[in-house]
Amino acid sequence: MTKTKRRDHYIPQGYLRGFMDPCRKHHPRPLFYFDIAKNRWFSKSPRQIGHRKGFYDYVHAGKMLENETADNAFLRLENDYPRIREELVATGFNRWTDHLEFLLSFMQMMRARSTLFREQKTMEGKTLLAYEIEEVYHDRNAVKLKSMTPQPVTPAFIKNRAITQMREEIQKGAAWLKDFCWALRLCESVSDPFVISELPFAIEGNSADLQEAIKHPDTLIIFPLCWQACLFGSLRRFDVEKDSFNGEDMRTSRRKYRAWAKEFILSPVQLDD
């Protein structure tokens, strides 16, 4: 039986651990969490961050859907990511392109399981109309409708549809991300790190529509791998694929995530900027 009403992490704990200061590895709450609403820093553990209760639970869906849990879609990517990140860190990210295909697949998963993706699919679901079947006539291969006027679908249908769409999006893989050129940027010190918000996968551009944005040459895809490194994607080729950011570049990166954040900022250290 699949346990429901769990603390479902829309940001995997294994990914969150990449934003811990190594000196705080054994601290019970090693991460620094800036609460946007309270405008305050707190110390938290990965277990306490980036989750919602029952976020991936199908609603009264029957055995067919309930047996196809969201965990199945996450399992391999979640399990492999910490190992690959540790390898990259240990080797100074020298062979990061060897793992690029996996990293793009992980990024696609992070986009599809995010709260933003769920909100977008929920809004789409609220526009749907459906006919309600009152009776099925198997001998005539026909149905009787309760009304000839379509009605809005139920909240349960909307949630189940959104979860299924999330799983389908992950299963598609990251083919569309392979159209982009990619570059890796590194930071110099844990005191001057890359940070994330509740939406680590970010698209910066002139269009709110994904399909339009990914075709525009000015669009920039941003995804911190850990506090030490961040991937950048663009349709334009980068002059340098791997390089370090200077102090001003790092501050600009953090300012962007602070502007995008609605819930929190996560960092290995407490920051002033």
Please spell the DSSP secondary structure of 119-150, one letter per residue. Answer: HHHHHHHTT-EEPPEEEEETTTTEEEES-SS-
Residue with tokens 């019970």: 28
253 pLDDT tier (thresholds 50, 70, 90): very high
The Cα 208–Cα 193 span in angstroms is 28
Say if 272 falls within a structural domain: no
The Cα 136–Cα 55 span in angstroms is 33
Say if 252 falls within a structural domain: yes
Strand partners, 34: 41, 265
Contacts with 188 (C-beta within 8 Å, 6 or more apart), sequence order: 244, 245
- Per-residue pLDDT reduced to its tens digit, 53-66: 999 888 875 554 55
1 pLDDT tier (thresholds 50, 70, 90): very low
Pick the more confident residue, 149 or 223.
223
Say if 95 falls within a structural domain: yes
Q: What is the mean pLDDT of residues 235-252?
A: 96
Say if 1 falls within a structural domain: no
What are the structure tokens assigned to 85, written together? Answer: 């990140």
**Domains in the chain, number:** 1
Question: Pseudo-torsion of CA 89, 94, 97, 99, nearest 10°?
Answer: -40
**Neighbour tally for 162: CB within 10 Å:** 19
Query: Packing angle between helix 115-125 and helix 155-172, nearest 10 degrees?
Result: 130
Q: Which of 47-61, 127-141, 210-224 is predicted with the least confidence, judged by mean pLDDT?
A: 127-141
4 pLDDT tier (thresholds 50, 70, 90): low
Say if 220 falls within a structural domain: yes
Strand-strand pairing, 151-152 and 181-186: unpaired
pLDDT over 90 (residue 211) = no
pLDDT over 60 (residue 67) = no
Say if 123 falls within a structural domain: yes
What are the structure tokens assigned to 195, written together? Answer: 């940070």
Residues of the domain holding 22: 7-267
The Cα 87–Cα 175 span in angstroms is 24
Q: HSE of 54 in the Cβ direction (CA atoms, 13 Å)?
A: 9
pLDDT for res 95 = 94
pTM above 0.85, yes or no: yes
pLDDT for res 65 = 52
pLDDT for res 142 = 84
pLDDT for res 251 = 97
pLDDT over 90 (residue 270) = yes
71 pLDDT tier (thresholds 50, 70, 90): low
The Cα 225–Cα 127 span in angstroms is 36
Mean pLDDT of the chain: 91
pLDDT for res 61 = 59
The Cα 43–Cα 106 span in angstroms is 27
pLDDT for res 178 = 93
Contacts with 27 (C-beta within 8 Å, 6 or more apart), sequence order: 43
Q: What is the mean pLDDT of residues 228-252?
A: 97
226 pLDDT tier (thresholds 50, 70, 90): very high
